[in-house]
Structure formats: structure tokens, C-alpha cells
A and B are shown apart, each in its own frame.
Chain A
Amino acid sequence: MPSVAEIFKTMDYGPAPESDAEARAWLAKHGGKFGHFVNGAWTKSGSTFDVIDPSTNTSLAKVTQGTQKDVDAAVAAARKAFSKWSKLTPHARARHLYALARMVQKHARLFAVIESMDNGKPIRETRDLDIPLVARHFYHHAGWAQLFATEFAGYAPLGVVGQIIPWNFPLLMLAWKVAPALAAGNTVVLKPAEFTPLSALLFAELAYEAGLPPGVLNIITGDGKTGAAMVEHKDIDKIAFTGSTDVGKIIRKATAGSGKKLSLELGGKSPFIVYEDADLDSVVEGVVDAIWFNQGQVCCAGSRLLVQEGVHDTLMAKIRARMEKLRVGKPLDKAVDMGAIVAPEQLDRITKLVAQGKAEGAEMWQPSWSVPKNGCFYPPTLFTNVEPASTIAQVEIFGPVLVAMSFRTPEESVALANNTPFGLAASVWTENINLALDIAPKIKAGVVWVNATNLFDAAAGFGGYRESGFGREGGREGMYEYCRWEMGDGRGGATATKKAASPLTSPISPLPSIDRTPKLFIGGKQARPDSGYSRVIVGPKGARVGEVGEGNRKDLRNAVEAAHAAAKSWSKSTAHLRAQILYYIGENLDARGDEFAARLRAMTGATAAQARAEVDASIARLFTYAAWADKYDGAVHNVPIRGVALQMNEPIGVVAVVAPDESPLLGFISTVAPLLATGNAVVAVPSEVHPLSATDLYTVLESSDVPDGVVNIVTGAKDVLAKTLAEHDDVEAIWYWGSKDGKKAVELASAGNMKRTWCHSAVRDWQVELPAREYLREATQVKNIWVPYGE
């Protein structure tokens, strides 16, 4: 060890170790071996695997590989606990969550040390960021528990929730998932990542000591096979998953048609956009926080640096100088910026992708110093001369690797930013508020930070667009993921889809008439179906009441293209204008009310009164969503910074609607109107058996100032068309009402681009007033824009 006098001359840094004594004592107390934590007790350890400290590649403990039987036991315990837990008063649940927050704070350092040892991340991060945020999440959700009965009136907990969390923020991801689940009255079976199970086990043990009833929170350790057992478990009501997009797609497919609610927080390749007027020195620190935080193993890491050409070289020089000063070392050293990569597998992946980046011609730069030899360490890495076509510009590396590209104009920056299947987060750096607030809404991402990066808080929802998943964690928007509307929407009963009569066997109407076979409605024009076929529509007694075009996949392709062309300006139109158009549709429908009522009678056999009532309800519903158009406001979240987090409810884009068979007019209007009100463009497939009310709407839409392409209607075989729409990579969400099989097929196919789905196989009474906010929420996605301020 150098002497004081020697250090005086060099002014070097020395070691600054955080003690691991308490953490090791806890591991020793358990004999270095853990079972699962189920029903308030440890199970006997079974077949075990080692938990590795990646900074030394030595074993910290052994944990049990969860079997189907283990998962069954945990789900049974959670189910048993649910009846009591969900019936606790909100205040009682609030007390429990409050106790968990206090528990985390009381044991903050133990959690911080365990997390650092297990994951390899620096103690500074677990101590200053992860663990305080964990406590904050439980405090915030203690509040939601307290307010649940009033703020979520009409909502009920889902039941038993299965949660599968990643290794990059083990305890924080537990908090993001467990806190809202428990606050809403659910019970939980949680599986931590196999690389990093220790903090979850510690949490469960201490939560039980803090008075959480047995069975409310159960921890099962294991690998992907254990996770699969949860995903496929019949008695789990919801799966919440954070992890890779690949696994997210597997889960989406596995749960298709199962009725399980799903929220997925997946990968990202988030843009970090720097305009020429930004404070470049602050940008450099932003880059450090974006990509060298947690060794870059952050789903929302700002891994794609987009720099305006004029400042590109200056910024790169500054970043390289800064990288030279980063310190990589032992995770428990209090003076390092980066610790170890989580596991050898991950280190391999990073190494391979970097090699590929070099092979593809990008220029790699790393600091002059070298990282520790033993253990999973990787240096901060910068790639320049990267093209959007490069592999490293497209795939999520999940390591300390930054790829930089330049752009010329703000417009080009948006195009590059959105040139990705992902849409999790973005950073925008400029001193010009006009530019910042112009760009933020244009970026397809669930979170946008202005002149900042990686800011998180329990009050602001976090989650992605596109293949970054769906659902939000945090804030009011996150609570909805853990409860369901259970009041008065007339749900229930099995599907009552009738088979359309075959064109060949249908009787012919006795009266000759002028042919009025409707075409399809695409891009504001009535277009002949590509197939050249029509299908016969029959009334209740089998008499032919008309024909409609037989739409096929090409018609849908055209409809989606028309919808995209329209969506651009429709999404930016004022809410007032959208309201006016919805009112106008209602007005024109009213003028032709008798005709629509007659059509309903002919198609469905409804009585005159019933048919008239459906028309009137349809007009009322149009008024309801016209009313909502300029009232479905976002929010300003109270986040703990000097600044604001603006919650914007953005349209999803192009949404497909496969409309219900019951109430063919009202069901169609009730599903399309909320999408229009919120600024989406729609491709709608009307009821297969009763489509004529929808095709009659063509001329209503044409005369109501609906812009071309905002509503597209393709008639035909429901489940065939639904599948094509669900598979379409440029359809951003799909709503489906129909059969169980159809629902399953849609959910299965949606995994292709991870589009949001909202599928229903139960008949509802559309006359009952809808919980409009449910429909509006499904029609929008929340973007939180963080704007720190202060001159």
C-alpha cells in the first residue's frame, strides 16, 4: 500500500470498499442454500443451481429450480390468500404497503449490498438509485391502495398475478410489479431472474416479518422453464413480464386465448438525440447516464446517439475524453462508475456484437485503460461511422456500447429515431423549448426525457410503444394493469355468432330491385373487392337481404395503407374538429334513422322498437365520444424533480376493429367512435352476418366530413380478415369481438409486431352505457415527457 506521502504526490484514487459482512451473514444464516418462499415460509430446497457473483465468477449461494409442482403450490397459496387479501379494506392494504416501504428503508444497505454482489452493478447505483426507488414505489402505491375504492370505483382486482422479472434491476423490477399488484388487491407469484434471485428472496422474508399475510407474495426461483410453467398455469389471471422482446413474443403466443391479462415491458434501442444548440458538456454526462449506467444493461438505455452534423465531431471528442475518465472495477467499490456484466453469457453476447460491428465497418473506440481480468467486465465502448443498416444500430446490445450516427435536420432526426421496431424511451437535448416540445410527441416511445435521461418515478408510468411492449408501470396508468372493470357493461354469456348462409343455398328475394351491392370503403372511396366475389347476406328467416363485397388480404393491405396516409394529419387534428365530425356523423345518421332501423329489422329480425332503440343509442354513443374527444386529458405528474412530467394520451395510430355481431350498428359505432375521438385511423371489419348497417354508413361518413382513409371498412369472412389484420406489421393495435377461437388466433398472430390486442369472446349488451374511459384508454397510449426546467 502506498504511503500518505506517496499518494500526496500522485493524487490517485484508492480502494473504497463497501463491507459485504452483513450480506454474507444473511446468506450463511440460510446455509448458502434457498428453497422457494411460499405461503409465508421457506420450502425445502430442491434441485439447485448456483447464483454467481459476476465480478469474481464465484458462487454466492444455491437456489432451487422451480418445478411445475412448486408453481402449483405457490399459485394455490396465492389463490387461497386472495379471498382475504382482496377483501381487506383499502386502508388495511395501504398499511401493509406502507410497512413494506418502511421495511425496505430499514434494510436499505443490506438490499443494496446483496443486489450489487448478485448483479455486479456498482454499489453507488443500488444505494443511491435502485433501493430508494424501491421504497418510493411502495410509498406511492400505499397511496393507491388507500384510494382504491374511490379512485378506481367499479374496478376489481384480477386475482392471482404471475410476475416474471429480469436481472438488470432485480429488486426495482420486483417493486414495480409487486407494489401495484398488491395495492389493487391481487396476490402474487413472482419469479426473479435466475441470474439474480437473492434480493427477491430477502424481500419476501422481510416482507413476511413486516406482517404481510402468508400467500400474498410468493417467490419461486428458477429458469425459463419455471417461467413457462407460470405462463401456462390455468389459475393465474395475469402475467406481467419484463425482459427481452423474444421472450415477450413467446409469452404473447403462450397466453393467446387464455383470457390472461398481459403486460409486457420489453427491449429497446432508444434514441438519444442531440441538436446543435444543446449544452454539450451536459450532453456528455447525459450519455454517461444513458449508456454507462448499470453497464448499459438497461432496457431504456440511450444506446443510439443521434447527433446533428455540425456538432458531431466536437461531441465525439468530448465523449471520448469523458470515457477515458470512467472507472470500471469491483461492484462494491464506492468509487467506480461501472461494475461487472451480469453473467458470462451476456459478456459473450456483447463481445460478439462488438466484433460484428467492427466487421461491418463501424469504427470502434475504447479507453486506453483495461478492465479487471477476472470476472465479467467490459469497457465502455463507442462506435462511430455507424449506418442505420448496421446490426449494432438495430439490435439491442444490452451492454456498455454506444452507437453514434449524425443527422441534418430535426425532421431527419425523428425519422432516424423512429427507424426501429422498438419504442421504449428517448432523450432529446436542445436549449430550444420549441424544438424540444415539437420533437417529443413525434417520437414513438413511451417515455421522452428532455435534456435528461433515465429519470424514473413511481408517479409517472413507464412502458413502451411497438415491440417494446404494452402496459405501463407506475402512476394511475400503471394501476389499471392490475384491475378490471366489473360494473354494468353487460358482459357475459357465450358468443352467439351465427353462420352466414352459403351464397349458393340462399333463397332469392321475390322482388326485382336495383342492385345496391355495396363495395368496400377504402381511403374514402367505395372500392370493388379485389376478389371479385360477393357474399349474400340473409335475414333472420334465411331470406336474402343483400350482398356485400368479399374482402381479402389485398383489400386489407390497401385499407391499412389508406389508414396510415390519413392517420398522420388526423392524429394532429384538433380534438374540437374530431368532436365536430363525430357529432356530424350522429346528425346524418339521425336524418336517415328510419332507413337504418328498417335495415336492422330486415337483417336481425328486431322489432320496430328494438331497431329504433339501436339507432338512437348509436347516435347517443356518437355524441358520447364527441363529448369525450376534447376531454380525455393527459396529466401533469408530480415527480420529484424541478420540472414536470407531462402525461400525453396519444393515439396508437392505425387500429383494426373486428366489430361484434350483436347490435350490428351500435356495436360498430361503439367500437369505432372512441378510436376516432382519440385520433386513430381505423380499419374496421363489420359483423360478418349483419354487415349492411356498416356498409350503409359509407354515405353517412362521406357526407360527414370524415377525412378520406380515417375510417376504412372491409366486409367479408370475419376470422380470416381478423387473422390477416393481426398479422399485419403496420397495424398497431387490434380490437376483436367474436369467438374464442378467433380471439386466440388474433392474440397469437399479434406477437409478430407485438401489437396491442383487446379481444372479447363474450356477448355484451351494447345498449348499456359503456365505461367510456375503458375504451378511450384502450384507444390511446401514454407517453410521459419529462421536462426538467430552471435557468
Chain B
Amino acid sequence: MADGGVMRDAGGGKPGTAHGGLARNPGQPLDLDRVRSLRVNRSAVERRAATIPTRRTVKKEWQAAWLLKAITLMDLTTLSGDDTAGNVRRLCAKARNPLRDDIVRALGAESLDVKTGAVCVYHQWVSTAVAALEGSGVPVAAVSTGFPAGLSPFEQRLAEIPASVKAGAQEIDIVITRAHVLTGDWQALYDEVKAFRAACGDAHIKAILATGELATLSNVARASWVAMQAGADFIKTSTGKEGTNATLPVSLVMVRQIREYEAATGFKVGYKPAGGIRTAKQALDYLLLMKEELGDRWLQPDLFRFGASALLTDIERQLEHFVTGRYAAAHRQPMP
């Protein structure tokens, strides 16, 4: 049946090899006419989003395989004021070894070398994480540019990027100035993201749009488009700190812009929903969304990530249930 004929030779699928074999989005001149002409019908988007989890499902072996895949797409994240070197190291240990060995063996998944897509921390803990992950191939992502509100002086926000890159971050999750979107100042938004992209150098840039603060889905579409034209490697929904974080309708709007951008420019941009994705079921819903709207190529870590912290434990429980047939307990999974 239909898989859209998209490529399956996702060589870039290995953790830690973000954008392996993928031409990086260089950005485009800002096309204001295109940005302003974008229209999104909220009710229609919500109807489609509501049927993505009801039109498709995966069961048994397929579900287990998809959940394993979800682990490899996870930016295992801690972004708390009370983070310390200790809990960051614990998180990194989990990123290297996300599943109990007995479960991996029972799934016959030893050869897959399942690790999370990345570990995501504040700048303060980048070097700690890099050290803890050495040799694992799991990259470190740093949130940056005045995360989460993005309202500190521009030069300071910009300076955070090279500092994190220097500390070993391979991925930089930047935040945008929401006011640029709310006031329709698309040029300012474009200039801001473009400057951040330049500061990233070879590190990959994920543009956090903070969609929960952009008021309308049309704004989400326009901000997505501007960020991609400014050279974002990924567009990302949320910091996890807004009142509303990732949702399927918002995600649907963003991935449709990614599809349009590829159609217009030939460049593939990645997508990262973040915040509020806590259950294995939700993770599957997002995988269904990506497969249906963008195709299988977007089920690899160089083009799709979850920002999540609690999700991994639920996936572990579901996989243990698949293996044993008994419902599993969180306290029996090693804590991240």
C-alpha cells in the first residue's frame, strides 16, 4: 500500500549523525508576498488532526518497532532551574542506554544500537553532557538565545550560540522574538533567525517558534515559513514553558509548511514538537502524522525529533508489556 514512494535509504538515520547525507537548508531570500498570503483554516486543520490518530494505528510487532524508533528520535531533555551536573549525567547515561538489556534482547533489537537522538540541556551543562556522552555518538543540544522568552539584549542572545558550540554542542535550539510575529514584522524575524543561523556555523539550528504564544495558526504558518527562509535546519514548536506546547493541529500546520518549502526549494527541513508529549500513544500519533504528511524520510533523527523528558519511561513500560504480556511499572525502569 501507499507509502508515497519516498526514499527509505535513510542513511542519516543513525543517532549522532544529524544531517548525514542531507543537503543542509541554506535559506532563501525573504518572500514577503508568500508569507503574507499564507492562510490556515483552523477548524479544517483541527478536523484533520483529530483523524490522524483514528485513521492509522500500529499494533504488536509494528508498534514495538515504532516505539523503538521513537526512542531514537528523542531529544532527551532537562531544562530546569535546579539541574545539576549529577542529574545531567544521569540523563546522559539513560541516553546511551535507554532500554533495559533484557527488553532489547527480547525484542531482537541488539543490532539496532538504540540510543536517543540527542540530549538537550542549558548552556551551563553542555560540557558536562558532552563529557558524559563521549564515544556514544549521541549529540548534545543546547537551548540558547535567551531561552525561553528570548527577550535579553540581542548581542547577548547571539553570543550564547558560539559559547555553546565551543563547549561542544552540535545542535542549538534558538527562540524567536514572538513580538515580531504578533506585529507582523517578518523582516525583523527573518534577520534575527538568519543572524542566529550564521552564529551556529556547522552546528544545526532548531528554531523554536513558541507556537502557544503566536495566537493563530496562520501566524504559526507564517513564522514557520520565515524561519525556514532564514535557514533553520529544524522548526520546533515550543520551549516547554509556554501555556500550550506541542499539539497535533499546530504540528500539522508546521509540517505542511515544511512540505511546501521542500516543494519550492528542494530542501528538507526537520520538525521537532516539544512539550507535553508524555505517552507512548502520543509519540505514535506524531510518527503517524509525519509518515502521512511528509513521508517515511521524516521518520529519521536528522529530520524529526521529539523534545521530551517523561516520554522515555512510558515507552519503556509499553515495550516491556509487549515483551512480557504483563502491564509494566515505571519504578522498574531505570530512572533518567
Interface residues of A (CB under 8 A from B): 1-16, 124, 128, 277-279, 281-283, 285-286, 289, 321, 324-329, 334-335, 337, 367-369, 431, 451-452, 641-643, 788-791
Contact = CB atoms under 8 A, between A and B. Distances in A.
Contacts of B29: none
B58 interface: yes
B240 to A, nearest CB: 25
A165 B46 CA distance: 33
Contact of B56 (A10, A289, A335): A335
B33 to A, nearest CB: 14
Contact of A337 (B55, B108, B109): B55
A128 B61 contact: no
B39 A277 contact: yes
A16 B57 contact: yes
Contacts of B64: 4, 7
A643 B57 contact: no
Interface residue SS majority, chain B: helix
B68 A10 contact: no
A4 B65 contact: yes
B66 interface: yes
Closest A-B pairs by Cβ, 7 of them: A282-B44, A7-B65, A14-B62, A788-B43, A279-B41, A285-B48, A790-B42
Nearest to B263: A317
B8 A10 contact: yes
Contacts of B56: 13, 335
A334 B57 contact: yes
Contact of B58 (A14, A278, A367): A14
Given A4-B65, A14-B61, A282 B48 contact: yes
A289 to B, nearest CB: 8
Given A3-B61, A4-B64, A16-B58, A321 B4 contact: yes
Contacts of B1: 13, 327-329, 369
A590 B107 CA distance: 94
B292 A11 contact: no
* Listed residue (B45, B58, B65) with the most chain A CB atoms within 10 angstroms of its CB: B65
Contact of B3 (A12, A279, A289): A12
Nearest to B49: A285
7 contacts: A3-B61, A4-B108, A7-B65, A9-B8, A279-B39, A367-B2, A369-B1
Contact of B43 (A11, A327, A334, A641): A641
Interface of B: 1-5, 8, 39-48, 54-62, 64-66, 68-69, 107-109, 111-112, 216-218, 256, 287, 291-292, 296, 299
Contact of A282 (B2, B4, B41, B62): B41
B296 A11 contact: yes
Nearest to B37: A277
Nearest to B218: A791
Interface residue SS majority, chain A: loop
Contacts of A642: 43
B61 A324 contact: no
B47 A4 contact: no
B2 A451 contact: no
A588 B57 CA distance: 73
Contact of A452 (B44, B66, B107, B296): B44
A184 B86 CA distance: 72
Contacts of B107: 4-5
Nearest to A329: B1
Contacts of B111: 5
A709 to B, nearest CB: 41
B47 A452 contact: yes
A279 B41 CA distance: 6
A286 to B, nearest CB: 7
A353 to B, nearest CB: 24
Contacts of B57: 16, 334-335
Given A8-B69, A10-B8, A11-B291, A451 B43 contact: yes
A375 B108 CA distance: 37
Contacts of B2: 324-327, 367-369
A288 B319 CA distance: 34
A124 B50 CA distance: 13
Contacts of A369: 1-2
A555 to B, nearest CB: 51
A642 B216 CA distance: 16
A20 B218 CA distance: 44
Contacts of A328: 1
A605 to B, nearest CB: 66
A431 B41 contact: yes
Contact of A324 (B5, B43, B46, B69): B5
* Listed residue (A1, A3, A12, A279) with the most chain B CB atoms within 10 angstroms of its CB: A279
A289 B216 CA distance: 24
Contact of B44 (A9, A13, A285, A329): A285
Contacts of A1: 61
Nearest to A333: B57
